[in-house]
Structure 1
Amino acid sequence: MIRVVIVDDQAIVRTGLARIFGAEDGFDVVAECADGAQAVATVTRLRPDLVLMDVRMPRLDGIEATRQLCAAPEPPPVLALTTFDEDEVLWGVIEAGAQGFVLKDSTAEDLLAAARVVAAGGAWFDPAVAPRMMRAYRGAVASRRREAARLDLLTAREHDVLRLLARGQVNAEIAQALRVSPGTVKSHIGAIFEKLGVRDRAAAIVFAFDHGIVRPGQD
C-alpha cells in the first residue's frame, strides 16, 4: 500500500481525492491537511510514501511547504496538484523539489498513474504542460551551452585576466600579478568583452561567477 497525505484547503476536494486514492488501487490515505503548515507537521510525523500537494493555499502555500519538506532529511516524494498551469506555478513547485505536477482537471486514471510513478521515485508532468516545460528547458540548456562555449574562445592569458578581474582587481593589480603592462591588460580585457559578448567589467564578473571561473569565497 502507498501511504498518502492529501493537502488541499478545500474540504470537498480532499474528500474527492480520498475516494480516488482507495485501497482497491493500492493506496492508503493516512491524513488530510488543509494548509501547508499543517502538512509540514503531519508529514514530518507520519512519514508517508507520497504527498499530494495543492499549490494555492492560505497560511503556507504548497510551494513553500514543498520546499520545507524537501529540505528535510529523507524527504517524501511530492506530487503537486493545482488548477493553475502558469509557468510561475510550474517552475515554482519544481524548483521547490516536487517530483511531479498534475492539473486538477486530470482524469482519475491519470492521477493514480502519476501518484504511482512519483511514489516509486520517478517524475510525472501533466501532458498539458509537459511540451511547454520541455521547450523552456531546452531553450535554457541551449543558451547555457552557447554561453559556456564562449569561454573556449579565450586564450590562457585571457582566462587569467578574467579570473583576476572577477576577484575585484583593477588593471594595475592585474598587470603586476601577471607581470605585463597595464596597456596589455586593457587589450586583454577588451578581447574578453568581445568574445564573451559582455559590455563592461560588471557583466564579465557575473559571467565568470555564473560559469565557475571563480566562486564565492575563493581566494
Structure 2
Amino acid sequence: MSEGRVRIVLVDDHSLFRGGMRMLLGREAGFEVIGEAGDASEGIKAVARLAPDVVLLDLNMPGMSGAEAARILAEETPDVRVLMLTVSEDAEDLFAALRAGACGYLLKNIEAEALIAAIRSAAAGESVISPRMMGKLLSGVRAETPAPAREVPESERLTPREGEILALIARGKSNKEIARALEVAESTVKIHVQNLLRKLGLASRVQAAVYAVERGLGGE
C-alpha cells in the first residue's frame, strides 16, 4: 500500500455499478480507485499497468469469466489481492474463485460498512468470505474431510471461551453475532479471535473455520 492508502481497481461489466462503487469508495478515507474496466481482459491489462493493492472483480461477465481472470492475476501479479464481488450464491462459483486464487468472495448485496471492512482486511493480507457463503464453504470442507479429528498439541490449547468462539466462527458467525450470542462486547470477541488465531498459527477467520470443521467443531 502506498502511504497507507489502499489502491483499488474495479472490474465489472455494468458501468452504473462501477460508478456507484467509485463514488462509495471515493468517499472513504484511505481508499483510492485508480482504475476500472468493463471486462476481465481489460481488467487484467489495467492491473498490470496500475499495480493496485486490491481488485474488485465480478464473476460473470461477457467473454472471460472472473474466475479465469483471478487465475491469471494470481500467476502474473501475485501481490495483488483479488476480491470477487458477485451476485452468485452458487457453491461451485465460490470454490472456483477460491481455487483460482481469489482472497475473498463477497455478495453484491453486502452492506457498505461491511464492504469497506472487507477491502481493508484483504489489503492487510486476510481472506474474507460473505457470511452467507461461509456455510457453503464449510459444507464443502466437511464433504472433503472424512478423517477423524487429531489431538491438538498442548501448545495449541485454547481457553474454553476461545473454543466457544472458534466453534461459532465455524458456523459462519460474525464478531457482532458472536458477541450477541455470548453476551460480551464485540471488542472482547475481536481480542479472543486474535488470540486463538495466534495460538493456532492461522492467518484468517476462513482458516480458523476450516481448522474447526476438520476437528469436528461447529456442529449445530
TM-score (norm 1): 0.63
How many residues in Structure 1 have an aligned counterpart in Structure 2?
A: 144
Q: CA deviation at 1:60?
A: 1.4
Q: CA deviation at 1:72?
A: 1.7
Who is 1:32 aligned against? 36
Who is 2:13 aligned against? 9
Q: CA deviation at 1:15?
A: 0.5
The 1:73–1:108 alpha-carbon spacing in structure 2 relative to 1, beyond 3 Å, is: closer
Q: What is the percentage of aligned positions where both structures have the same residue? A: 36
Question: Superposition pairs for residues 1-219 of structure 1, below 5 Å?
Answer: 1-142=5-146, 145=147
Consecutive unaligned residues in structure 1, runs of 5 or more? 147-219
Q: Is the 8 A contact 2:48 2:77 kept in 1?
A: no
Q: CA deviation at 1:141?
A: 2.0
Consecutive unaligned residues in structure 2, runs of 5 or more? 149-220
Which deviations, in whole Å up to 9, do the C-alpha atoms of 1:167-194 show, x marking residues without a partner? xxxxxxxxxxxxxxxxxxxxxxxxxxxx
The 1:130–1:32 alpha-carbon spacing in structure 2 relative to 1, beyond 3 Å, is: same
Q: CA deviation at 1:119?
A: 1.0
Q: Which has the higher contact order (CA 8 A, sep 6+)?
A: 2
Aligned equivalents of 2:17, 2:23: Cα separation in 1: 10
The 1:88–1:38 alpha-carbon spacing in structure 2 relative to 1, beyond 3 Å, is: same
Aligned equivalents of 2:71, 2:127: Cα separation in 1: 17
Letter in 1 for 2:76: A
Aligned equivalents of 1:67, 1:52: Cα separation in 2: 14
Q: Is the 8 A contact 1:69 1:75 kept in 2?
A: no
Q: CA deviation at 1:117?
A: 0.6
Q: CA deviation at 1:27?
A: 0.6
Q: CA deviation at 1:34?
A: 0.3
Q: CA deviation at 1:131?
A: 1.5
Where do 4+ consecutive residues of structure 1 move more than 4 Å? none
Q: CA deviation at 1:110?
A: 1.0
Which deviations, in whole Å up to 9, do the C-alpha atoms of 1:126-179 show, x marking residues without a partner? 01110221121122122xx37xxxxxxxxxxxxxxxxxxxxxxxxxxxxxxxxx
Report the RMSD for the aligned CA atoms in angstroms.
Answer: 1.3
